[in-house]
């Protein structure tokens, strides 16, 4: 099998530190990028903001046992990649506002532009337990279906996309939508606040105009390895 390129390793490190820099993860969380049909690269198993320049991640088989140094919760990455050929990257995060909504069995509604990227729906995994077994990981992946985001009650979120940069950006979008949802509800505006229709969401959720690229640059700004991918 071909070796993992240094550019891929840098991209995974950049993603990990960007998520930490913007408060989307803390001591816990992980991100990965598909290498090919059989393998993916996951970030080093330590707090993402502490991953150093040049520090390599681990190569994980999509089917089979996890390597010894890889966290058990990375099984959910395996399960998603195994079911979704379209998925090139997975982010497991702990955003605060998403977490708050999840404890009430709620997910953000598409009330503004960033929220439109998750239509038709954001799945809710109604279980606060850690997902560490192949069976639980498979159930999470099945519930996520063809969607791009899943909120875990009292346990953060999972986002997947066709690129690692997009998965990171969508994680930021998800938390922004959750912040807005909380503001709308706390202001007593739930009945008056407009939820954007599915057809309008399809028009609004554009990827042209460097939408994801500009946000990726913003999220990576200041990183010691930014500009090296």
**17-47: pLDDT as tens digits:** 999 999 999 999 999 999 999 999 999 999 9
**158-195: pLDDT as tens digits:** 999 999 999 999 999 999 999 999 999 999 999 999 99
**214-229: pLDDT as tens digits:** 999 999 999 999 975 4
Helix axis angle, 134-144 to 75-83, nearest 10°: 50
- 3-state DSSP call for residue 220? helix
**Per-residue model confidence (pLDDT) at position 1:** 64
**64-84: pLDDT as tens digits:** 999 998 999 999 999 999 999
**Per-residue model confidence (pLDDT) at position 229:** 47
Task: Write down the CATH number for the domain with range 6-220.
Answer: 3.40.225.10
Where does the pLDDT of residue 85 fall: very low under 50, low under 70, confident under 90, or very high at 90 and above? very high
* Domain parsing of the chain, residue ranges: 6-220
Token code pair at residue 133: 């077994």
Q: Distance of CA 210 to CAs 18, 138, 176, 213, Å?
A: 18, 34, 19, 5
- 3-state DSSP call for residue 144? helix
**99-121: pLDDT as tens digits:** 999 999 999 999 999 999 999 99
Signed CA dihedral, 169, 174, 177, 178: sign only: negative
**42-68: pLDDT as tens digits:** 999 999 999 999 999 999 999 999 999
Q: Under 8 Å CB-to-CB from 2, ≥6 apart: which residues?
A: none
**Per-residue model confidence (pLDDT) at position 2:** 65
Hey, what's the torsion of the CAs at 64, 30, 152, 218, to 10 degrees? -140
Full DSSP string of 112-143: SGGGGGGTT--EEE---S---SHHHHHHHHHH
Q: Are 63 and 78 spatial neighbours (Cβ–Cβ below 8 Å)? A: yes
**Per-residue model confidence (pLDDT) at position 3:** 73
Strand pairing class (123-125; 149-152): parallel
Q: What is the pTM of this model?
A: 0.96
């Amino acid at each position: 099998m071909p070796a993992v390129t240094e550019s891929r390793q840098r991209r995974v490190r950049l993603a990990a530190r960007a998520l930490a820099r913007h408060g989307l993860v803390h001591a816990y969380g992980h991100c990965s990028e598909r290498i090919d049909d059989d393998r993916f690269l996951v970030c080093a198993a330590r707090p993402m903001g502490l991953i150093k320049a040049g520090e390599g991640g681990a190569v994980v088989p999509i089917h089979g046992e996890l390597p010894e140094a890889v966290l058990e919760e990375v099984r959910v990455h395996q399960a998603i990649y195994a079911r979704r050929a379209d998925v090139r990257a997975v982010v497991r995060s702990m955003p605060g506002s998403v977490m708050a909504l999840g404890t009430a069995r709620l997910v953000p509604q598409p009330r503004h532009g960033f929220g439109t990227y998750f239509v038709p729906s954001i799945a809710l995994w109604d279980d606060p337990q850690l997902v560490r077994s192949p069976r639980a990981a498979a159930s999470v992946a099945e519930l996520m279906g063809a969607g791009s985001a899943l909120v875990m009650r009292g346990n953060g979120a999972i986002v997947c996309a066709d690129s690692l940069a997009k998965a990171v950006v969508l994680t930021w979008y998800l938390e922004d939508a959750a912040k807005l949802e909380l503001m709308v509800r706390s202001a007593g505006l739930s009945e008056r606040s407009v939820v954007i229709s599915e057809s309008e969401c399809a028009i609004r959720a554009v990827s042209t105009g460097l939408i994801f690229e500009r946000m990726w640059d913003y999220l990576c700004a200041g990183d010691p390895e930014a500009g090296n991918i």
